[in-house]
Structure 1
């Protein structure tokens, strides 16, 4: 039996111009996530930097798989609103695969030595 690990779309947003374009982006993004079972885990909550400078907001969206996350990002619905964010903020984004249930840090050693 193959299990698919969850994946996460992460965005680190700085210098956000909180004008009508960002408001529209926020109003429209939920509808783009629904077909891909995406859900917000973090959406600019209180951030306490522990190491290094954190001068922005963090967003984490969970998806059932990396394929679902990529399909959402590449979807016509999301592409229709993407510029509302990218043209009105300085941001970095990525999609990262999670780890399976029961994962332990030492499990990484095998993949590093392969």
Structure 2
């Protein structure tokens, strides 16, 4: 099942460390099948507040996403980003089958539709 690494970055201070991060991250993704779906895009907000950039990276599985984030290749890049931005990063699994119907969650939760 596809998994995603989501990054929400605010107050990015663009400089040499961020340049290095951007130059090096692609090579860390390749062994884990990671591909950018969204990179450095400002959302069009409809609810809530967020004033930064979004990143979405797809992986073939949650195991691959975890292995990438925890890898020796990616570890040295994390401080390059975290020391120059406020960031929230999380991993999440996608839905198992497409098309997905939201009401399917009711079955999973044991709630009568």
Please give the range of the TM-score, normalised by the shorter of the 2 chains.
over 0.9
TM-score, normalized by length of structure 1? 0.91
Paired with 2:80 and 2:42, the residues of 1 have a C-alpha distance of 23
Measured on the aligned residues, the alpha-carbon RMSD in Å equals 1.2
Paired with 1:88 and 1:62, the residues of 2 have a C-alpha distance of 24
TM-score, normalized by length of structure 2? 0.92
Aligned to 2:99: 102
Structure 2 unmatched ranges of 5 or more: none
SS at match of 2:107: helix
Paired with 2:83 and 2:108, the residues of 1 have a C-alpha distance of 39
SS at match of 1:26: helix
Structure 1 unmatched ranges of 5 or more: none
1:6 to 2, 5, 11: 2
